[in-house]
Structure 1
C-alpha cells in the first residue's frame, strides 16, 4: 500500500496487506501512551493525508531509503529479527485548513436556504485538522451553522452584527454611568452580561449563532471576561471602507471617514498598520489592494508589485511578500534575490532590478 492509497480500516492483518514504518514524534507518542484518539483525515481522496490528535495536525509524507534494515529484539534480549525497508512515513506539523468547498456565502439573513444542507459536523469531518483547531479557526473564517446548514458570513454582515453588538454594549454602559471610560470598560466585560445586553438592546435580531461567532472573533476571553480586540475591529471596518471606495482617498480623509463609520462613542486607535496587506499608499493617497490577489509564484509576485509601484518602502512591501518568504528570513535579505534593496537616509527602499 503506497502513501496515496485509500486507507481503509482492517481488523485482521492478512498476507495481502503491507505494513508501513512510521517515525513517531513526541506528541503522537504521548497520545498513544494516553490512549487518546488518533484520526486519519483528508479533504478528499486526491488530497494529502494527515494524522490528527485532539489539538494538532500532522502531515504524512513518505521518506524513501535505500539498503536499510530494521533490527528488532525481544525485551529479554534472547531473540532478535530484522526486516528490510525502502521507505518510512514521517509526521510533520502542518497548518490546519478548513475545507469550504460547496459552502455558500451569506450576505443577508433572508438568503437562508434548506437545499443541500452541509452541516458544521460534515465540514469538520472533511477538513484536514483537529477538533480544537477547528473550534479556533471556525470564527476566524466567519463560519456558522444556521437551520442545519453551514454558511460563511459576508464581511459586511459581520460588520453590521458587530456594530449592533458594540452599540448595545455602549448604550448599556452609558445608561449605567460609564460614559467617560467606555474604551477601558470594553477591555473587561462579563461574558454573560454581554450576552444578556446584546439580547436586550440589539436593533436587529441576529441569531445567537452569528453573534457568538462574531464575539469569538473580535474579543478575547479570559476567566469569564471579554476584551474587544480593537485592532481586529479597526481592520474589519477599514478594509471594507477601502473596498467600497473605488477612488483613491487622502490618508487623512480615510482616517476621518473610518472613525465616522464606527459606532458612536467607540474610539479605538486607528493605525494604517492594522490594515497591512490590504492597501497601497502613494503621494499621500490610499487605495485598496489585497495581498491575496497576487500570484503565489515569487518571481511573478515581485513583478506584479513593481507594476503597482516602482519603489517601495521595506515596511510597506513586507506584508505583500510574507507569504512567499516561506523560510521566514529577514525581509530585506529575502528580497535581494528578486529586487534591488538599498538604504536612503534612515529608510530602506526596494525597487526592481534593471
Structure 2
C-alpha cells in the first residue's frame, strides 16, 4: 500500500476494507479508551495522512519489516493464534499546519467579497490539524471569518486594528487616573472590559471577529487577567517599519522611528532581538531581510547567508539557521559542518570555510 497517496482496500482481505496494524502511542490510546473521536485527515489527496485527536496531530508512517509474526492469545488464555505481517503503521508527532490554499488576503475592509466563499469550518476540515491546535494557530496566521468567508488579514490591517485597540484602552486608563501606570495596567486587564472599551472608543469600526483575532494574537489570558504581549507588539511594528523603508537605516534612527509609530503613551522596551529573523545589521546600520526568503536546503542557505555578510556573530546568524537545524543541537556545533566557527574575544563568530 502506498501510504502517501490514497488508502485503498487490500484485496487479500476484503473488497471493502483495508486493515493495517497500528502501533498506538499513549495519547491515542487514551482517546480510544475515553471513546473520543479520532479522525484521519490530509491537506490534499497527494499529501501524507495524519491522525488527529481533539488536541494533537500525528503523522502516519509505514514501517516495513521482514519475517515478523504477531502472536495473539484469547482472553482466557486457552488458545492462541498468529499472523505474519511485513509492515505496520506508526504515529509520529508532527507540527500541525493550516491549509491556506485559496484563502484571500484582506488588506482593507472595503475588499470583502462574496466570491470563492470558503468558511473557517471548511479550512479546518481540509487542514492536517486538531481542533485545539486550529484554535491556537488561527490567530497566529491572522485567519478570520467575515460574513461567512475566511480571510488572512494583511499585517498592515492587523497593525492598524491593534493600534486602534491600544489607543482605546490607553485613553480609558488615562481618563480613569492611571496615566502613570499605563504599562503596568496593560498587563492586568479584564477581557470583557477591553472589548467594551474598544467598542466604545475605537477610532475605526473594526468587526468584532477581527478585534478578537488580534487580541488573541497579541495578548495572553491567565488568572491575573488579560496581558498585552509587548514583544510580539514590538515585532509587528518593527518588521513593518523595516519593510516600508527600502534603504538601510542607522540603528538609533530605527529605534526612534519605531517608538514614533506606536500609539501615544505606549512605551514598551524595544530590543532588536524581538525582530530576530527579519533584519541584518552591519556597521551600525539595519535593514530588512526575512529568514523565509532563504533556501530550505542547508548548504544553499549557508551560502546565501555568507553572500549577505562575510562574517556573522553567532547570535546574529542563529535565527537564520534555526529552521534547518532540525535536530535542535547547539548552533555553534551545528554550523561546524558548514562553516568556520571561532572565538574572537568574548564573542563567537561564523564565516565561510573557503
TM-score by length of 1: 0.97
Pairwise CA RMSD of aligned residues? 1.4
Task: Report whether the alignment pairs 1:326 with 2:340.
Answer: no
After superposition, give the CA deviation of every residue in 1:180-236 in whole Å (9 maximum; x if it has no partner): 000000000001100000000000000000000000000001137210000000000
Structure 1 residue 18 displacement after superposition: 3.8
Partner of 2:59: 59
**Deviation string, structure 1 residues 315-351 (Cα, Å, up to 9, x no partner):** 0000000000000000000000000000000000000
Correspondence for 2:189: 189
- Compared CA separation, residues 107 and 16, structure 1 to 2 (3 A): closer
Aligned position for 1:90: 90
> Are residue 262 (structure 1) and residue 262 (structure 2) matched?
yes
Q: Establish whether residue 306 from structure 1 lines up as the match of residue 306 from structure 2.
A: yes
For residue 15 of structure 1, report the CA deviation from its aligned partner: 5.6
- Would the alpha carbon gap of residues 16 and 329 (structure 1) be closer, same or farther in structure 2, given more than 3 Å must change? same
What residue in structure 2 maps to residue 123 of structure 1?
A: 123
Partner of 1:253: 253
Given that 1:191 and 1:224 are in contact with CA atoms closer than 8 Å, whether structure 2 keeps it comes out as no
Distance in 1 between residues matched to 2:133 and 2:337, nearest whole Å: 35
Q: Which residue number in structure 2 is paired with residue 6 of structure 1?
A: 6
Instruction: State the match for 2:241 in structure 1.
Output: 241
Q: Distance in 2 between matches of 1:116 and 1:249?
A: 42
Structure 2 counterpart SS, 1:221: strand
Q: Secondary structure at the match of 1:192?
A: helix
- SS at 2:144 equivalent: strand
Q: Contact 2:294 / 2:301 at 8 angstroms: preserved in 1?
A: yes
Shift of 1:16: 5.7
What SS is found at the alignment partner of 1:84?
strand
Alpha-carbon distance, 1:116 to partner = 1.5
After superposition, give the CA deviation of every residue in 1:271-314 in whole Å (9 maximum; x if it has no partner): 00000000000000000000000000000000000000000000
Q: Tell me if structure 1 keeps the 8 A contact 2:8–2:18.
A: no
State the shift of 1:2 in Å.
4.0
> Per-residue deviation at 1:19?
1.5
- Return the alpha-carbon distance in structure 2 between the equivalents of residues 54 and 225 of structure 1: 26
User: What is the aligned partner in structure 1 of residue 291 from structure 2?
Assistant: 291
Q: Distance in 2 between matches of 1:33 and 1:250?
A: 60
Please name the residue that 2:161 is paired with: 161
* Alignment deviations for residues 245-283 of structure 1 (CA, whole Å, 9 cap, x no partner): 000100000000000000000000000000000000000
1:337 correspondence with 2:334:
no
1:349 counterpart = 2:313: no
- Which residue is equivalent to 2:104? 104
Per the alignment, residue 208 of structure 1 pairs with 208
Report how many residues are paired: 352
Residues 111-168 of structure 1: per-residue CA shift (max 9 Å, x gap): 0000110000000000000000000000000000001110000000000000000000
Partner of 2:37: 37
Question: Do the aligned partners of 1:41 and 1:50 also contact (CA within 8 Å) in 2?
Answer: yes
TM-score by length of 2: 0.97
SS of the residue 2:255 aligns to: helix
1:328 aligned counterpart, secondary structure: coil
CA contact (8 A) 2:6 2:46 kept: no
The worse-fitting range, judged by mean Cα deviation, of 215-224 and 205-214 is 215-224
Change (3 A) 1:36 1:8: farther
1:4, distance to aligned residue in structure 2 (A): 3.4
Query: Cα deviation per residue 1:56-91 (whole Å; 9 max; x = unaligned)?
Result: 000000000000000101111111111000000000
